[in-house]
Amino acid sequence: MISLWQTCRAVNLDSLPNLTDKVYLVTGGTSGLGYETAKALAAKDARVFLTYRNLDRYQHASESIRDQHPKAKIEGLHTDYLDGFSSIAKCAAEFQQHDLPLHCLINNIGVESPEDDEAEHGFDATQAINYLGAFYMTHLLLQQLNQTRNSRILNLTSLVEPTGSIDWDDLGGRQAHCSNYEMYANSKVKLFMLTAELQRRLHATGSTTDVFSVHPGVAQTDIFPKSDKGKLGAGVLAAGAVAVGQSPGGGAQSVLKVATDSSLTGKGGGDRHWGPWYTGAPHRPFGQTWPLCFTVNHDNQGWRKPINPLISDLHACERLYNETLQLINDTAEVKIAGVDCSNSRTARHA
């Protein structure tokens, strides 16, 4: 994965609208893109919920945001995607106890080549965190999203989507030999396909909720430095991010645009990807997936046409949605309902 140059942009708060009375939930919001996103939203007077795994890191992040923006409304929700669906369900239930609308869910949390290869229930750790966890959290909170007019779901995908593929016999990665770059690329193309299929279903039911895919280009966040450098490609990706990656604030620009720009209402779906220009192609020398992608960290707020043909394959997107739903419900104690296209319109918050 190559980026032509580094850009050290910070978030331009003047470009964001006032977000008073808006409620956002950002998963993995204690560092990197999630932190920069949460900080900017709070600075514009939104009420922001951050999910966290480590209490000390959450306290440090929230205190840092309040130091810079004393009136920031930041609240924490504990969850650990590696601990399985029960932890995510408890997190969603804790948010629901506030009895608030949810204007935007940002599925930001992600890993690449983590030290832990396996999550609860035997799933590959990357698949569990990047894809299955996002799918589950989204559906747990769909009632709040559907009841909030013009709400949004943002899935942080990646410019590596051209190299992703699907093992239809092992969607959860239980048979994966290790949680490496291949699992990362596969999880990101699945998230993109979720965006496409969930948007199709929601629109068919009359929902005003929009689903978007966004990517940050190559950014200097914790995801690559914290990866297991003993895994194929992890060291190269980490070194590349340090050498040519843009700042987390630069990377968060695409997220913040899609999370706040009212002109994008009704423009969700799988036919576009918000973030810097990129290109790439699948390549599997020696039977391994390699990160042969290229980006220019420029025009971070533009939209791009996805490259991987799986994303525009309606049958594949529908199959992935149905089989993921079944996989989760076969495992999770708290079941989730899929979006049935025959459902009627429901009441919404104004």
Helix axes 133-140, 85-96, angle to 10 degrees: 30
Of the listed 35, 58, 184, 278, which one is catalytic?
A: 184
CA terminus-to-terminus distance, the chain: 43
CA distance 330 to 343: 23
The residue type of 287 is G
Angle (nearest 5°) at CA 191 between 190 and 194: 90
**DSSP string computed for 50-95:** EEES-HHHHHHHHHHHHHH-TT-EEEEEE--GGG-HHHHHHHHHHH
- Mapped onto helix, strand or coil, the DSSP state of residue 129 is helix
Query: Could you tell me which residues come within 8 angstroms of residue 43 by beta carbon, excluding any fewer than 6 positions away?
Result: 13, 16, 68, 69, 72
Cα 318 versus chain centre, distance = 20
CA distance 31 to 307: 29
Closest C-alpha to 256, from 220, 289, 212: 212
The neighbouring-strand residues paired with 3 are 295
CA distance 230 to 146: 43
Q: Respond yes or no: is residue 52 known to be catalytic.
A: no
The token pair at 309 is 């043909």
Q: How many CB atoms lie within 10 A of CB 75?
A: 14
214, 154 Cβ separation under 8 angstroms: yes
Catalytic residues: 184
